[in-house]
């Protein structure tokens, strides 16, 4: 993967390129970013840049033999380690057992999550990076390089290393010469402290709306859909890619229906909304709630700074204008947001959807219509 194929993260790309060019890349780094911010794509681009024999000041060439091999994740001097599950009851799993599946998965979904990966392995077993795997890593990295000056090792999700990860400590402290270890994590608090303290932290930033929007446009997503997805994705490009393939459901339509029912105090319209929402699957229900929360966040920003810093569809601006005309306060935004977040929590716990959305609608109405005096 080239840096140009990694969405956003321009500052971090510059820093990485500079350090590699100056020969100052620390030998153990931890790329840390939320789900969908692109830790693995960044690690792949970094490995490709290190190994490229014809790199420029801004990127790898994408064409030399090293780049060609890395584009298939098959470079003999770039090693991968990742969570596996015990699919064969008689064998302790190591990454090498699943490298073909891992390549296939990552080449198709470089922004994929570990849940997607375990789904790809068709297991509901817990992922793990085993002690045997740690020993194999050390052995593997003792070998001489095959074709490059540098060895690169990428561990995706060091969160899955239990105390067995301590086997690696000495190696992380004093790796073999010309070896770069890259750990790719999303939850630092779950990574062993002993590993955290031996790696240099490189933070990925949360992707900006415009960055996701631009990446979607490059994927030929239709402009208004790209904008709506970028808004919904909230910095998670992995989620944005999933939304492309989802059936177009009418989040905006649902929201209009709910708000109409609430403000006009039309019980039947609210019931119609509740029935339709209850018939949707959990993912769509959560998507609607997330959409609503995001719209409220935009409302606050829109009121403060105007259109310049909020990108939405015209129809969505109209909703914001209506809410402003109805004098929805920031206090009410906070209260309604809290109700929505509680609702997501309940959906995940399989609460009865009809009861849940009915109660949600009435509580929102309570906040918006009847508690004004308190606000
Ligand atoms: Zn190259």
**Interval between CA 336 and ligand 1 midpoint (Å):** 52
**Interval between CA 48 and ligand 1 midpoint (Å):** 7
Q: Could you report the per-residue pLDDT of 168-211, keeping only the tens digit for each? A: 999 999 888 899 999 999 999 999 999 999 999 999 999 999 99
Q: Could you report the per-residue pLDDT of 228-272, keeping only the tens digit for each? A: 899 888 899 998 998 887 766 788 899 999 999 999 999 999 999
**Interval between CA 50 and ligand 1 midpoint (Å):** 9
pLDDT at 373 over 70: no
**Interval between CA 2 and ligand 1 midpoint (Å):** 9
**Interval between CA 181 and ligand 1 midpoint (Å):** 20
| pLDDT for residue 224 | 86
Q: Are 42 and 195 in contact (CB under 8 A)?
A: no
| Distance from C-alpha of 169 to C-alpha of 156, rounded to nearest angstrom | 17
- What lies within 8 Å, CB to CB, of 316 at 6+ separation is 231, 252, 295, 298
Q: Are 44 and 18 in contact (CB under 8 A)?
A: no
Helices (H), the chain: 10-21, 39-51, 65-70, 99-108, 114-120, 131-142, 169-173, 193-196, 209-218, 223-233, 237-245, 251-263, 267-279, 282-305, 314-325, 330-348, 353-365
pTM beyond 0.85, yes or no: no
Q: Could you report the per-residue pLDDT of 120-172, keeping only the tens digit for each? A: 988 888 889 999 999 999 999 998 899 999 999 999 999 999 898 999 999 99
CA 104 to chain centre: 19
Mean pLDDT of 278-304: 91
Give the CATH fold of the 3-206 domain: Rossmann fold (3.40.50)
| Distance from C-alpha of 93 to C-alpha of 160, rounded to nearest angstrom | 13
What are the residue ranges spanned by the domains of the chain? 3-206, 249-374
| pLDDT for residue 375 | 45
CATH number, domain 249-374: 1.20.272
Same CATH fold assignment for domains 3-206 and 249-374: no
CA 355 to chain centre: 31
**Interval between CA 54 and ligand 1 midpoint (Å):** 5
């Amino acid at each position: 993967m080239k840096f140009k194929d990694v969405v956003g993260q321009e500052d971090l790309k510059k820093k990485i390129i500079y350090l590699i060019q100056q020969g100052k890349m620390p030998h153990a780094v931890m790329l840390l970013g939320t789900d969908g911010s692109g830790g693995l794509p960044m690690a792949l681009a970094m490995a490709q840049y290190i190994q490229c024999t014809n790199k420029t000041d801004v990127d790898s060439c994408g064409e030399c033999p090293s780049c060609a091999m890395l584009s298939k994740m098959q470079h003999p001097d770039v090693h991968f380690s990742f969570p596996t599950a015990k699919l064969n009851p008689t064998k302790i799993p190591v990454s090498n057992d699943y490298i073909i599946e891992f390549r296939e998965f990552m080449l198709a979904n470089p922004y994929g999550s570990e849940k997607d990966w375990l789904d790809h392995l068709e297991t509901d077993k817990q992922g793990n990076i085993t002690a045997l795997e740690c020993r194999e890593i050390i052995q593997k990295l003792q070998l001489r390089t095959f074709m490059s000056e540098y060895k690169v090792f990428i561990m995706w999700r060091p969160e899955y290393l239990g105390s067995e990860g301590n086997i690696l400590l000495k190696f992380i402290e004093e790796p073999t010469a010309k070896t770069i270890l890259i750990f790719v994590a999303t939850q630092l608090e779950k990574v062993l402290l002993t590993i955290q303290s031996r790696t240099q932290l490189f933070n990925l930033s949360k992707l900006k709306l415009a960055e996701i929007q631009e990446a979607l446009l490059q994927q030929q997503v239709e402009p208004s859909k790209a904008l709506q997805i970028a808004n919904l994705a909230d910095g998670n490009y992995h989620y944005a890619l999933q939304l492309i393939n989802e059936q177009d459901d009418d989040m905006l339509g649902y929201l209009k229906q709910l708000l109409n029912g609430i403000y006009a105090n039309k019980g039947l319209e609210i019931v119609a909304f509740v029935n339709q929402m209850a018939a949707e699957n959990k993912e769509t229900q959560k998507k609607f709630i997330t959409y609503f929360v995001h719209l409220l966040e935009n409302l606050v920003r829109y009121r403060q700074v105007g259109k310049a810093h909020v990108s939405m569809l015209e129809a969505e601006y109209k909703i914001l204008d209506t809410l402003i005309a109805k004098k929805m306060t920031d206090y009410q935004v906070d209260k309604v947001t809290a109700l929505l977040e509680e609702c997501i929590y309940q959906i995940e716990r399989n609460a009865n959807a009809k009861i849940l959305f009915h109660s949600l609608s009435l509580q929102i109405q309570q906040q918006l219509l009847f508690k004004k005096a308190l606000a």
